[in-house]
Amino acid sequence: MEAFLSSLVSVAFHGIAYGMILYVISVGLSVTMGLMGFVNLAHGVFAMAGGYILTSAISRFGLPFPLALALAVIVVAAASVPLERLLYSRLYGAGELEQVLFTIGLIFMAVAAAQVIFGMLQQPVLLPDYLKGQFPLLGRDFPAYRVFLIVVSGAMIAALWFSVERTLWGAMVRAAVDNLAMAQSIGINTRRLFTLTFALGSGLAGLGGALGAEIIAIQPTYPFEHLVYFLIVVSVGGLGSLRGPFAAALLIGVTDTACKYWLPQFGAFFIYVATIVLLLWRPDGLFGKRI
Amino acid sequence: MTRPIGYGADPRIRVTEGLPWLAGIAVFFLLPEYLSLGARILTYILFALSLDLILGYAGIITLGHSAFFGLGAYVAGILAAKLGVTDPMLLLAAAACAAGVLGIATGAVILRTRGLTQLMLTLAIAAVCLEIANKATPVTGGADGLSGITIAPIFGALKFDMFGKTAYLWCLTLLFASWWLTRKIIYSPFGATLSGIRENIVRMRAIGVPVYRRLLTVYAISATMAGVAGALLAQTNQFVGLNVLGFEPSGELMVMLILGGVGRLYGAFVGPLVYLIAQDVLAKQFPQYWYFGIGLMLVLVVLFARGGILGMADALVARLRKHT
């Protein structure tokens, strides 16, 4: 019984850590899809870029961990601005097919570029000493890095929710998601809003990729392999919603960890089947278009 | 706009439409050392044709078309390798039935939804198929792939030889039959309703078209064709690997079709031809640059040349006509 309880706690803990990372990566995707109606399959590329920046900043340039993390977020967010301005914005009004093809093209390019620059092997994450080892909590030991990860993600999520609910930028985003034409007609500069929001979403993906580099291995096929998970989070959670993807990400994180722990012979089978059933039951996701 | 292919256009077969078949036969006699590549190209043309039917004509965007291709390949492969069924016609029929049934079952689900949900569902279904093939190792061979496929002579007379002559002609024959069927469909009133649904689904509902039933029908036909293509791959390669399932083969197929041109029937011929020959020449020497080039090409096609190669050719012809 005690053994079962401790494995239950362990699965819940690792599942939550994984779910948090999934959410931080995917929330930007949910907002950009809800706001601009853009099917951005290449969102995982930003997460992968964040992971590569973190790992190589530490291993090649010897930067301290917090600085490398900040660098990953800033570089990814900054790099996404010209990308959005020059390329994505051309396809805002285009059909879904064009957007899908365009972003698949970006994935191909990113995967190839990552292979050329970093090789096929998985990038090791060099953690500082204070994030290694165990962290005692309620009479149990938890891996310190996972605790750190949950705390940082939680803080980012709180900051994000606060800014969407309480700031002027958040109000503009909510207005544009609800009714784009009306938002434009009352004078909201939606072009700038799009760019800003896109950069924020990409930066968060970079953060998620960097933070989660230890859980979701950083390798060139990253954007392909995990695309399904990011999309599941968004579509199950509901487009343009903040809370929906959070619930979905935690659900997927815990379920996936539990399946891999207790039923490894089935792999991700249950996650996919559950997604199909869920989307049949609620085609617009758990929490439809409300931010 | 370019000359439309579809209902309302002249349904008689033009002289130029014989070119692919002449070329196919010419390759058989003139380039015998390339027949195995040729059979592969013909298989992918069939696969691309099935995608063109739902993507180009009916406007269903799917990221999981490989599910049917893979199922066809595995059904044919498992029957031949594990259960001793070796008759090629029987294998094709079994694969076609299995893929058709999966097409109806999954189509009944995904065609009720639209947009991202639909995209997501197609992807999830393909992912489920990949996961099953990966984990059911005793039956599918898992990550090692399924080998030991033996195929009996076609009609008990034509043996699959080591030079791939029989395989090539077998693929060519089946492609011809599928092309005939596809062409019939898109020139029929049924084909016209498909294009109508793609262009304006609300209006088609308003004039009384049973949209869902039409889409389901074409989805099942397309799935069956993809299953046949998969079975062909299993027969000609005598091996089935996990790389026939999942997102990547679906994406790759989409690239081929886009490269040739969507919704113009012969785009499905040109795309795989150019893609697979280029892959054969370039991919082995520069695998990374090959992928980068594919991505770049997709981006450029979307931004500047939405009709693909055939679209550009049409535009070029139109411009030349204007000048003379």
Pick the closest to residue A80 from A26, A21, A28, A155 (CA basis): A28
Please give the Cα distance from A215 to B168 (Å, whole number). Answer: 47
Residue B300 to chain A, least CA–CA distance (Å): 8
Count of alpha carbons within 13 angstroms of residue B55, beta-carbon side: 33
How confident is residue A289, by pLDDT bands cut at 50, 70 and 90?
low
Give the model's pLDDT for residue B3.
45
Q: Where are the domains of chain B?
A: 19-245
Partnered with residue A136 across adjacent β-strands are A141
Interface of B with A (CB under 8 A): 55, 61, 63, 109, 112-113, 115-117, 119-121, 123-125, 127-128, 131-132, 134-135, 247-248, 251, 254-255, 258, 262, 287-292, 294-299, 301-303, 306
Q: Which residue has 């800003």 as its token pair?
A: A196
C-alpha–C-alpha distance, residues B193 and B198, integer Å: 9
pLDDT-based confidence at A7, cuts 50/70/90?
confident
In a domain? residue A86: yes
Question: Both tokens of residue A247?
Answer: 């619930």
CA angle A227, A233, A236 (to 5 degrees): 125
B167: which residues sit within 8 A by CB, 6+ positions away? B35, B36, B39, B160, B235, B236
A286 within domain boundaries: no
Q: Choose, out of A32, A43, A88, A279, the residue to mutate when testing the contact with B (most B CBs < 10 Å).
A: A279
- Contact across the interface for B303 and A87, Cβ inside 8 Å: yes
Q: What is the pLDDT of residues A152-203, one digit of tens each?
A: 999 999 999 898 889 998 898 888 888 888 999 999 888 899 899 999 999 9
Does the pLDDT of residue B91 top 50, yes or no? yes
φ and ψ at residue B307, rounded to 5 degrees: -90, 0
* pTM metric for this prediction: 0.86
Number of Cβ within 10 Å of residue B319's Cβ equals: 9
pLDDT at A291: 41
What pLDDT score does B156 carry? 72
Residues 6+ apart with CB under 8 A from A195: A81, A84, A85, A89
Distance from CA of A48 to the nearest CA of B (A): 16
- Number of domains forming the structure of chain A: 1
The residue among A57, A245, A102 whose CA lies nearest residue A160 is A245
* Separation of CA A125 from chain center: 19
Counting DSSP H helices and E strands in chain A, the numbers are 12, 2
Closest to A24 (Cα-Cα) out of A50, A2, A5, A1: A50
pLDDT tier at A265, thresholds 50, 70, 90: confident
Amino acid occupying residue B185? I
> Which residues of B fall within a CB distance of 8 Å from A97?
55, 61, 262
In a domain, A46, yes or no: yes
Residue A137 is which amino acid?
L
Q: Evaluate whether residue A14 is within a structural domain.
A: yes
B41-59 pLDDT, tens per residue? 999 999 999 999 999 999 8
CA distance A215 to B61: 32
| Cα–Cα dist A115/A107, whole Å | 12
Comparing CB atoms, the residue among A96, A111, A228 nearest residue B61 is A96
- pLDDT tens digits for B179-192? 999 999 998 999 99
Q: Residues with Cβ < 8 Å from A173, sequence gap 6 or more? A: A31, A35, A164, A193, A197, A291
**∠ CA B294-B298-B301, rounded to 5°:** 135
* Structural tokens at position A153: 């993600």
Asked if the structure places residue A290 within a domain, the reply is: no
Å from A25 to nearest chain B CA? Answer: 17
- Output the pLDDT for position A165: 86
> Does the pLDDT at position B313 exceed 70?
yes
In chain B, what percentage of residues exceed pLDDT 90?
A: 38
- CA–CA dist A161, A220 (Å, integer): 32
Using alpha carbons, select from B204, B188, B173, B167 the residue that is nearest to residue B59: B204
pLDDT recorded at residue B138: 86
Q: What is the helix (H) or strand (E) element at residue A137, kind and residue range?
A: strand A134-137
A267 to B134: CB separation less than 8 angstroms, yes or no: yes
Q: Cα torsion at B248, B253, B259, B261 (round to 10°)?
A: -140
In the numeric block, the tokens 């660098």 are attached to A71
Confidence of residue A288 (pLDDT cuts 50, 70, 90): low
Q: Is residue A101 assigned to a domain?
A: yes
Does ipTM top 0.85?
no
| Rounded (5°) CA angle B91-B49-B269 | 115
- State whether B292 and A284 contact (CB < 8 Å): no
The answer to whether A111 and A52 have CB atoms below 8 angstroms apart is no
B145 and B238 in contact (C-beta within 8 Å)? no
* CA nearest to A200, candidates A228, A224, A245, A169: A169
Q: CA–CA separation, B46 vs B177, rounded Å? A: 10
- Residue type (1 letter), B204: M
The yes-or-no verdict on residue B1 having pLDDT over 60 is: no
Residue B7 is predicted with a pLDDT of 65
Q: Which of A235, A278, A280 to mutate to test the interface with B (most CBs of B within 10 A)?
A: A235
Closest partner residue to B292 (CB to CB) among A100, A112, A234 is A112
Residue A268 structural domain: 2-281
Instruction: Determine the pLDDT at residue A290.
Output: 44
Lookup: tokens for A132: 């290694």
pLDDT digits (tens, 9 = 90+) for A33-63: 888 888 889 999 999 999 999 999 988 888 8
Exposed/middle/buried for A16, CB within 10 Å: 0-12, 13-18, 19+?
Answer: buried
